[in-house]
Structure 1
Amino acid sequence: MGKKKLVAFLSAIAVITGVCGTYAAYVNTVKVDNHISTGLVDISLDEFQEENGKLIAYENNKTVLPGEQVSKIPRITNKGEPCYVRAKISYDGNTEELEGLSDENISGFSEDWVKKGEYFYYTKILESKEGVELFDTVSIPADWTEAHEEQELSVSILTEAVQSANFKPDFSAMSPWGNQVIELAVKEQDGEILDKEENVKLTVEFNGKAHKLIAAPKDFFSNFSVAMPGDVFTDSVDLSNTTDQTAELFFCTASDTKDPEEQDLLNKLGLEISYKGKQLYSGNLKAEELSKEYISLGKYRPDETGKLDFKVTVPKELNNIYALRNADVQWIFTVREDQPAGAPQEPSDPAEHSISTPSPVKTGDETPVLGFICCGIAAGFVIVAVYIRKRGGKK
């Protein structure tokens, strides 16, 4: 083969290699661990009496006299989530021959208590850790005679509570709580009630300076309060690309919990995700459907932004069995960017799922399949050139 032909072959190889091997795929992943917990309606009842200007624990089995004013102060304390409370007072000691005590002998109710039917209703919301006193005095009738001397009297109090979230009593009705079913608490609140920070901006940014995905905060449910039956939580994630290259964003979920109670809660809670007005998912919070493969959120040009909206719902019928439970679900965001093959590559965390695109890309930084094909073609040209040159030498 002449020198000119050989040069032409080598030039063609250089052109093919240059065109085919120009770009490589850069893939980077960030994971967000979302936490949700359910609350509990939990109250306690303690009784006090005033003695020498101080409140002390109430002393039972007292001997009282006609006309005596007995200090008795029942206090209801909220140990759980904000709630409404009511109390039912019952009296023992009545006989056919002797009358006993009644509501007429009880005093010290504040104007925030109203009597409807058998119950006294507290018309304000009792906030977490707050307490309220029901009454403060029991009056023994002054006209009682020696006939009542051996009579045993008791005043019993039953207290009940219902969550204030998603519930509005009608205190003008004979039954302000309607047909609300009051369940016995199956768990007690341990430790302090934590207030979650609200109005935190949720972001996922393909950062130009760091050249990687950055998510903030670490928990995208951080704006949610403790979940109570009937709650509906909504929020959104701001998406952005601050690099100088176009990049494609992907999204999927994961939940690795083996705890049956946590799995049960994730299956009970609802989740809806939408992007640009289009619903991406509607189902339970576990979202197994989204854990199978990535969903593309589209290509983002430099400085382009978007928004991922989501809603978490708590069923109204969720009962006390689900009180004080915790659950976690992981959201995974991945970016893919085409870069010049010679450009420096940042290390990236491997994603657990394949990325669903017309031209699938494996995780990590690697050359596209087209590049390998082009290199193969170039290698073929080299082999042919060498073979022709050898044959020419023999001639």
Structure 2
Amino acid sequence: LWTDYTFGSGMTWQTDEENAKKALDSFWDSENNKAVLSARGQRKSSDKLLVDGEVFFAIFLGAHGEAKIRRIDPLEITEIITDPDDIEDVRFYRRDWADRQGKTQISIYRSTTNIKGEPALDSMGANVKQTDEALVYHLTNRTLGQRGTPLLLPAHFYLKYNKKFIASRIAIMLALTRFGWRTEVKGGQAAVDKIKAKTNEQVVSAGSHLVENLGSNTTPIKAETGASSAYQDGRMIKLMIASAVGIPEQYFEDISIGNLATAKTVELPMMKQFRSLQKVWADAYQDIANVIMQHNAIPKEQWYVDIDFPEIAPQDTAAAAEAMVKIVGLIPEFADASEVQQQALMLLGINDPAEVIDSLGEGTSGNKEALLIKVLKQFRESLETERGE
């Protein structure tokens, strides 16, 4: 859910600076970088951040402004080397890893904040310099120190005991249902053996007719499983897990405990945490874009990139579409703004708004304004129809 709500169909970007756009297009559209930058790559990066608690992006700068980006396994990063007087000033990353032949390698990478390679001392007091031509960008989740922490870490204790609880409940149910019927027989062991010979290991069709004489009496065994109490016990554990991951309990496969009022009440903190994560990722992609633009000698005043994420909830989408229609109606010049056009196209679920914006640029201003208002109105009406308004 964290990845679904944060990224949706994927993050998109836009810039009005032609040189910056050319450099970033080459970087984002490169076949070599799709594993990290495509919609699928973005989701994988998000999942790794939530599962591992951190993501290390390695950026390899090539000739003619080219660049390649990859992810490094966090377990391979064994030391983060900083300025001795400032722990926030990260200089290098030490990576201990093995190649495909199993040979151990040690690499020292510069941080994206230390492109010039300013020297530093490691934990042993030795002077450190880069050994490989790569820049590392470190993104953390719930940071307490230098490293991040996984989303599920606070819930680890309760997840472990929830598994044991479910296993125990299954064991109890299997034990209680070992015998389903009880037959009382008049007579000695011979009479009992006679009934057993007829019923044991015999498959009886559902709805069959049971005929007995007064010598035996067959009744179902009523087993009290304590299901009601077990449900409440299990719910207490589930609530602790839900609290740890920031997701209300009705999202854990039990919508019966929720209603419209409670859903709207709990949505606000969820929206805030998802929007917060969107902002964290927007800052990360802006920082990575800055490295690419610096590598392409783009002036610093042209580094701004407009980064957008899909709306988190449908009602947000409808409200945004309605607000945009009103604004464009009052201020027609807004229809010419690339940021407005990009946001409108994202509301429609278009995955590559930049390409559509370029094609819109071929038309006249009046045509663009009319088209934008018409499309947004139709989209808003379709959303209202789906919600039954």
Larger RCO (CA within 8 A; separation ≥ 6): 1
Q: Rg bigger for which structure?
A: 1
Higher strand share goes to which structure? 1
TM-score range, shorter chain: under 0.3
Q: Structure 1-normalised TM-score? A: 0.18
Higher helix share goes to which structure? 2
